[in-house]
């Protein structure tokens, strides 16, 4: 899958822009603050309808405008035109100039794997950040995953609200609570199985890719869940045991909403024992493992975005990563320095110099 053409209107600091891309490598370069991230962000928004930067949609619209438009032509066996319009009244999406009423029917048609400097926090950050990343990644591969997750979260809210009600009334058992618990477990088990399968598949690629980047080290992700290897009856019993605690807290203490995954390098927890460099390499390896998995599952490559990946890496690691990129995949790389690419064949890439919302094609 690749994006041939992109048109922006009032997106961030781009008042108007039309670009044709290279099917393989597109290097977006320029000084800081010029609009490099904004450009790749627009591609991400076109695919996922929201930014990877945790921002309100309003800030995606040029500060002097009231609406923004991103349009792109995607080639994946055949060409499809995608369009998203952002305004104060929300967002509208089109496929081949036909209005798509439900965002969920639009999202994830354009598949994107993104690396962003914030991702470096995945190893160190809270479990909720890791779960969020995991959810985004799995839902690109499996559309029903997101539906299960939404259903689970709705049930979780209902169960928590009902626990609070029981707390007030002083009741301990209720048929309604049992029904909610059982439904929660059913969805939870589906999500658990998807997460488990996904991490197992990622692990098949992870160490090999890590070694290609860093030289040595055995890397694996360990999935930690309350549901670990349990059947439904065993999980039900866990909830029964936890009922007093649940009632006194007025919330559900067990379930896949507390899941976590941990990186282990040579059997040591990377969060506690890893250097910053090892943690970075692990995240990059995970992104590339996801890419391989995606190719295997879907039979085509997603679009890869590497935003500011190279600013803190040494030249050897950069070259190792660039070797991984040189396959049949379209990649967008933002950088302040073109010298990383001096060994590239000029036919393999386009480069775009970004200067304050204006682009010069090289
Ligand atoms: N909604 C907006 N309207 C106009 N300019 C914006 C908007 N949002 C961000 N910018 C400008 O975009 C620039 C930052 O762009 P960014 O892509 O993050 O830079 P970099 O090239 O360092 O990645 C800043 O100058 C900022 O003022
Ligand atoms: Mg940037």
Among residues 252, 273, 301, which one ends one of the domains?
301
Number of domains the chain contains: 2
CA–centroid distance, residue 356 to ligand 1 (Å): 8
Helix, strand, coil share of the chain (percent; to 5) = 50, 25, 25
CA–centroid distance, residue 13 to ligand 1 (Å): 5
CA–centroid distance, residue 308 to ligand 2 (Å): 6
User: In this structure, are 79 and 128 located in the same domain?
Assistant: no
Q: Which atom of ligand 1 is nearest to the CA of 34?
A: 21
Q: Do the Cβ atoms of 323 and 213 come closer than 8 Å?
A: no
- Exposure string for 78-107, b = 16+ CB within 10 A, e = fewer: eeeebbbbbbeeebbbeeeeeebeeeeebb
The residue range of the domain holding 213 is 122-301
The answer to whether position 116 is within a domain reads no
Q: 111: closest CA among 294, 309, 325, 308?
A: 294
User: In this structure, are 287 and 138 located in the same domain?
Assistant: yes
CA–centroid distance, residue 332 to ligand 1 (Å): 18
The answer to whether position 233 is within a domain reads yes
- CATH number of the domain where residue 190 is located: 1.20.1050.90
Q: Which atom of ligand 1 is nearest to the CA of 31?
A: 21
User: In this structure, are 149 and 281 located in the same domain?
Assistant: yes
| Nearest ligand, CA 10 | 1
Among residues 261, 281, 301, which one ends one of the domains?
301
Report the distance separating Cα 298 and Cα 99, nearest Å.
26
Could you identify the residue written with the tokens 């590339």? Answer: 288
User: In this structure, are 288 and 308 located in the same domain?
Assistant: no
Pocket of ligand 1 (CB under 6 A): 12-13, 30, 32-38, 59, 61-63
Q: Do the Cβ atoms of 319 and 345 come closer than 8 Å?
A: no
User: In this structure, are 318 and 295 located in the same domain?
Assistant: no
- CATH number of the domain where residue 68 is located: 3.40.50.300
Cα→Cα distances 231→183, 245, 270, Å? 14, 22, 30
User: In this structure, are 87 and 185 located in the same domain?
Assistant: no
Q: Do the Cβ atoms of 115 and 290 come closer than 8 Å?
A: no
Q: 84: closest CA among 97, 140, 332, 59?
A: 97
Report the distance separating Cα 48 and Cα 95, nearest Å.
13
Among residues 274, 301, 328, which one ends one of the domains?
301
End-to-end CA distance of the chain: 23
Query: Per-residue confidence of the chain (362 residues) as pLDDT tens digits?
Result: 999 999 999 999 999 999 999 999 999 999 999 999 999 999 999 999 999 987 889 999 999 999 999 999 999 999 999 999 999 899 999 999 999 998 888 987 999 999 998 888 899 899 999 999 899 889 888 888 989 999 999 999 999 999 999 888 877 778 999 999 999 999 999 999 999 999 999 999 999 999 999 999 999 999 999 999 999 999 999 999 999 999 999 999 999 999 999 999 999 999 999 998 899 999 999 999 999 999 999 999 999 999 999 887 888 888 898 888 877 899 999 999 988 888 888 888 999 999 999 998 86
Cα 45–chain centre separation: 12
Q: Which atom of ligand 1 is nearest to the CA of 357?
A: 12
Q: Which atom of ligand 1 is nearest to the CA of 62?
A: 3
User: In this structure, are 163 and 283 located in the same domain?
Assistant: yes
């Amino acid at each position: 899958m690749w994006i041939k053409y992109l048109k922006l209107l009032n997106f961030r600091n781009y008042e108007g822009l039309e670009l044709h891309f290279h099917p393989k490598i597109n290097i977006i370069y320029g000084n800081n603050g010029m609009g490099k991230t904004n450009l790749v962000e627009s591609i991400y928004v076109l695919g996922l309808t929201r930014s990877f930067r945790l921002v309100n949609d309003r800030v995606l619209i040029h500060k002097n405008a009231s609406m923004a438009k991103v349009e792109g032509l995607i080639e994946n066996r055949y060409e499809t035109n995608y369009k998203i319009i952002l305004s104060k009244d929300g967002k509208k999406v089109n496929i081949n100039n036909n209005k798509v009423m439900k965002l969920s029917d639009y999202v994830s048609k354009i598949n994107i794997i993104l690396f962003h400097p914030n991702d470096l926090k995945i190893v160190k950050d809270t479990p909720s950040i890791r779960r969020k990343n995991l959810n985004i990644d799995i839902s690109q591969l499996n559309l029903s995953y997101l539906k299960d997750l939404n259903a689970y979260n709705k049930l979780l809210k209902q169960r928590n609200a009902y626990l609070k009600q029981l707390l007030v009334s002083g009741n301990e058992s209720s048929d309604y609570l049992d029904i909610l618990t059982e439904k929660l477990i059913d969805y939870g088990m589906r999500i658990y199985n998807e997460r488990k399968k996904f991490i197992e598949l990622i692990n098949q690629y992870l160490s090999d890719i890590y070694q290609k980047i860093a030289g040595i080290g055995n890397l694996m992700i360990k999935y930690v869940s309350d549901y670990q290897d349990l059947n439904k009856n065993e999980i039900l019993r866990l909830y029964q045991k936890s009922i007093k605690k649940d009632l006194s807290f007025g919330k559900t203490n067990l379930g896949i909403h507390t899941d976590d995954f941990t990186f282990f390098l040579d059997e040591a927890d990377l969060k506690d024992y890893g250097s910053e460099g090892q943690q970075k390499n692990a995240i990059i390896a995970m992104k590339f493992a996801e890419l391989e998995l995606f190719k295997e599952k879907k039979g085509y490559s997603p679009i890869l975005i590497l935003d500011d990946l190279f600013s803190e890496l040494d030249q050897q690691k950069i070259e190792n990563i660039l070797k991984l990129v040189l396959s049949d995949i379209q990649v967008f790389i933002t950088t302040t320095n073109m010298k990383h690419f001096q060994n590239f064949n000029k036919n393999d890439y386009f480069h775009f110099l970004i200067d304050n919302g204006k682009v010069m094609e090289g």
